[in-house]
Amino acid sequence: MTSRFVNPKRKQTRLRPAHLAVASLAALIAAGHHAGARSGWSERSVESVESRSAGDPIMAIVSLRNQRITVCDSEGWILRAPVSSGQKGRETPAGIFSVIQKVEDHYSNLYDDAYMPHMQRITWSGIALHGGALPGYPASHGCVRLPFDFAARLFDATAMGMRVIVAPTDVAPVEIAHAVLFQPKPGASALAAARSAEAEEAARKAVQARLDAGTAYREATRAMMPVRVAENLKLRAEAQLAAAAKTLGSAISAEAKQQAEGAKAQAAARIAELQVQWDAAKAELQPKLDAATAAREAAAAAETARAAAAETARPGRA
């Protein structure tokens, strides 16, 4: 069964300077005078699974009777710790909730700015998981207090939307299978891992293709320089040839004609020399231009493949 939660407009969390934490400390002391004696006990009572590697938390179960929270991954419990739930008259409501807001340094909007570190809200009416004093019995105004170190550890491990079950007694998740329920596809985990690996490989190839395209572009740019130099020198020699021809046409004396003929021949020879240089530079440039074009197209194709692989590997894709 899927539960829906409507997210109303959130009240803006007000952060307080460190010196204002005195009010928060007073609130904590008022909440439970046994906190100092019990703090060491609460931290020593935190348990972690040791028989296997823990996965990402997907569910937290709060037992009101046992005053304990149990955090589970896909294979079973991974963390346990004592809690202090709502006192008589302000009991923590039982039900199925989700983490709908996370604030690392939160001050209560309802109870004299009481400090609630590593707050994970589960209702918009003011119920949350957070670090607090644990006197060994229900003592809060409705929230679920956790050992301070445990609250920080849990805050870093959980994600928005994680299921939180508050139960009168201690419960444990069990696997349910029925013909009318959706069935996991055979090898779904292996398929997801394979798609994730493919997405990572596609991303690596896309990065490499961009690097290759940049290298090819720089090489083509360098190869273009000799072509441009030969072209400019050839244009200058052609201008000199035209000037020599004009001088030859207007020359009157034999000496002037001879000088013009020499300048014309020299310019023609220079043009022929530069033409050879230009042809050689063009021949060296063309493969680099072709390589740059191919690298640019390969980079575009690799980026398209990366985006497609990332979409396929996205959680929830069939």
Per-residue confidence (pLDDT) for residue 13, from 0 to 100: 38
Q: What would the pLDDT profile of 127-176 be if each residue is shown by its tens digit?
A: 999 999 999 999 999 999 999 999 999 999 998 999 999 999 878 777 77
CA triplet 250, 256, 258: central angle to 5 degrees?
A: 110
SS3 121: strand
Per-residue confidence (pLDDT) for residue 247, from 0 to 100: 85
Per-residue confidence (pLDDT) for residue 183, from 0 to 100: 66
Q: CA 179 to CA 233: how far, in whole Å?
A: 84
Burial of 146 (0-12, 13-18, 19+ CB in 10 A): buried
Q: What would the pLDDT profile of 71-101 be if each residue is shown by its tens digit?
A: 998 888 999 999 999 999 999 999 999 999 9
Burial of 175 (0-12, 13-18, 19+ CB in 10 A): exposed
Per-residue confidence (pLDDT) for residue 228, from 0 to 100: 92
Model-wide pTM > 0.75: no
Contact call for residues 237 and 281 (beta carbons, < 8 A): no
Spatial CA neighbour of 57 closest among 99, 4, 5: 99
Which residues of the chain have a pLDDT value below 50?
Answer: 1-39, 41
Per-residue confidence (pLDDT) for residue 212, from 0 to 100: 93
| Total count of residues recorded for the chain | 318
String of DSSP letters for 277-316: HHHHHHHHHHHHHHHHHHHHHHHHHHHHHHHHHHHHHSTT
Domains in the chain (CATH in brackets) are 18-167 (2.40.440.10), 189-313 (1.10.287.620)
Per-residue confidence (pLDDT) for residue 255, from 0 to 100: 85
3-state helix/strand/coil string of 204-216: HHHHHHHHHHHHH
